Chain A
Amino acid sequence: MAKVLMKGNEAVGAAAIEAGCRFFFGYPITPQNEIPEYMSRELPKVGGMFVQAESEIAAINMVYGAAGAGARVMTSSSSPGISLKQEGISYLAGAELPCVIVNMMRGGPGLGGIQPSQTDYFQATRGGGNGDYRVLVLAPSDVQELVDLVIEGFDLADEYRNPVMILGDGMIGQMMEPVEFKEREKRELPPKDWATTGTNGKRKPNIINSLYLNAEDLEKHNTYLQNKYNKMREKEVRVESYNVEDADVVISAYGTTARIAKTAISKLEKEGYKVGLIRPISLFPYPYDEFNKIKDDCKGVLTVEMNTGQMLDDVRIALNGRVPTYFYGRTGGMVPTPEEIVNKVKEIYGGAK
């Protein structure tokens, strides 16, 4: 198929429909409104259903209903709205329901602002709601990758019976880039024989549930969930890295910040600096092992985020004190410039190349 120029948010909608998503439940919030707008326009054309819920809480619970009923379903929001959805996300994780949740992050805390941020990293990667659970978190860096990850996200959700979160920000949601919907391999997915479709008198009732009043049973359920998350850790780590083994300084950044880091790296290379990049694409599971490739005498790993240092914790866990860590972040919707990153890297070099 030919390339088309699409806004990130619209590309999310197009990708979801391409992936077979036919149900969308949402609530307006800037900067992701083009997603529900797109879905309300396009879903009816393919026999799908868009419902504008009365709140984010209702929307995620509609997702819970639709996912339990066996549908491919999506919701989207931005930071304050994602906070409201956390109750439902916890239930989805507990009841093992597949769905895709898109968070186009904006600045916080509270109402914050509407400009891009990455301040929900902790919330996304540590579960977000109550209980010991994880959602699979994918962080696209450009609109094409956004499309690819949304499509793959639906498969991953079905494969693991787990919510998948696409963690973008206002910038990737609002920007336009060329995208191509490529032919892709059909993945072998388990049948949804657990879904509530009515028994038709032919089987025992299916029950969608996250309640285990017996402590032993709940522990068993938790152990089972953890095993599933461990399987994700084994099989679903996604990372892009560049020149990691050789670098004097390695930048670690994800999403739109990573592309800014790439601009900084090419500027630095022209000046003779040896700078690598680790760009986690899956934030849970996190590509901890990738950091083992960094040489022991690396001057430092610079984490760049649009927050005050959240992924930094994972970088430190990965390095375990082996290499110094540094951080550069902007917040409130301020986007780091390549020049700021360049200066920070030079600071780490301490003047000598």
Chain B
Amino acid sequence: MEERIIIAGFGGQGVMAMGQLITYSGMIEGKKVSWLPSYGPEMRGGTANCNVIISTEPVGSPVVVEASTAIVLNKPSLDKFESAVVPGGKLFINSSLIDRKSTRDDIDVYYVPATEIANELGNPRVANMVMLGAYLEVSNTVEVESILEAFGKVFGESKAHLLPLNKEALEKGMETVKQVQTDTV
């Protein structure tokens, strides 16, 4: 098994943290993992992305060129990474901020109104967790329990009080994707 993921969005949307949560969870579950961020001169507002690999074999190149999954949180990221998904792969789109549909017909596409759901939960910053929930529900790459365990490692003790909200967002994402899945695929 090798899952090769690209996660992309605006800086500040939490795409790096999402990637780290999946990576940490993979490590907890004894898999071989790597996380590679894009890094550029812009500190905020630009596009950010990270590459995550979860594998049963040692990770070779940590660069994801051919992704088994892409999770995109804004439109520039969809434009950039839509073509990177291998045929039969999965594409998760934050439909709250992306007004177009995917043009690919050889992959599974999931439209998740993550920002709207996060707003309903009272904090737009957990949109990433909604997307992550949707991804986990569909892919089963790692267990939700591992993600919750990884939360403290990635965000540190000082953010422990945010775990319940993030867990709720994760669950909302999981529920939602079951709906959209039947709607769109």
Chain A residues within 8 Å of B, Cβ to Cβ: 3-5, 30-31, 114, 142, 170-171, 174-178, 256, 259-264, 266, 335, 337-339
Pair A176/B35 contact, Cβ less than 8 Å: yes
Category for how many chain B residues contact A: 20 to 34
- Chain B residues with Cβ under 8 A from A175's Cβ? 34-37, 62
Complex: A261 Cα to B36 Cα, angstroms: 17
Pair A174/B65 contact, Cβ less than 8 Å: no
Picked from B34, B37, B41, B153, the residue with its CB within 8 Å of the CB of A177 is B34
A-B contact pairs, 26 of them (CB 8 A): A5-B33, A30-B39, A31-B39, A114-B39, A114-B40, A142-B59, A175-B37, A175-B62, A176-B34, A176-B35, A176-B36, A177-B34, A177-B35, A177-B59, A177-B62, A256-B62, A259-B59, A260-B60, A261-B60, A263-B60, A263-B61, A266-B60, A337-B61, A337-B63, A337-B65, A339-B65
Q: With A174-B39, A178-B27 as known contacts, state yes or no: A335 contacts B63, CB within 8 Å.
A: yes
Q: Is the CB of B94 closer than 8 A to any CB of chain A?
A: no
Q: Is the CB of B128 closer than 8 A to any CB of chain A?
A: no
Q: Is the CB of B23 closer than 8 A to any CB of chain A?
A: yes
Pair A174/B60 contact, Cβ less than 8 Å: no
14 extra A-B contacts, CB within 8 A, seeds A259-B62, A263-B61: A5-B27, A30-B39, A30-B41, A171-B62, A171-B63, A174-B37, A174-B39, A175-B34, A175-B35, A259-B61, A260-B61, A261-B60, A264-B60, A335-B63
Q: Is the CB of B77 closer than 8 A to any CB of chain A?
A: no
Pair A5/B153 contact, Cβ less than 8 Å: yes
Q: Is the CB of B24 closer than 8 A to any CB of chain A?
A: yes
Q: How far is the CB of A58 from chain B (nearest CB, A)?
A: 25
Q: Is the CB of B20 closer than 8 A to any CB of chain A?
A: yes
Q: How far is the CB of A177 from chain B (nearest CB, A)?
A: 5
Q: How far is the CB of B7 from chain A (nearest CB, A)?
A: 13
Q: How far is the CB of B161 from chain A (nearest CB, A)?
A: 22
Pair B20/A5 contact, Cβ less than 8 Å: yes
Q: Which of B51-66 contact A (CB under 8 A)?
A: 57-63, 65
Q: Which of B2-47 contact A (CB under 8 A)?
A: 20, 23-24, 27, 33-37, 39-41
Complex: A60 Cα to B79 Cα, angstroms: 45
- Chain B residues with Cβ under 8 A from A259's Cβ? 59-62
Complex: A5 Cα to B29 Cα, angstroms: 13
Pair B61/A174 contact, Cβ less than 8 Å: no
- Chain B residues with Cβ under 8 A from A174's Cβ? 36-37, 39
- Chain B residues with Cβ under 8 A from A263's Cβ? 60-61
- Chain B residues with Cβ under 8 A from A171's Cβ? 36, 62-63
Pair B39/A338 contact, Cβ less than 8 Å: no
Pair B27/A3 contact, Cβ less than 8 Å: yes
Q: How far is the CB of B34 from chain A (nearest CB, A)?
A: 5
- Chain A residues with Cβ under 8 A from B27's Cβ? 3, 5, 178
Complex: A149 Cα to B27 Cα, angstroms: 22
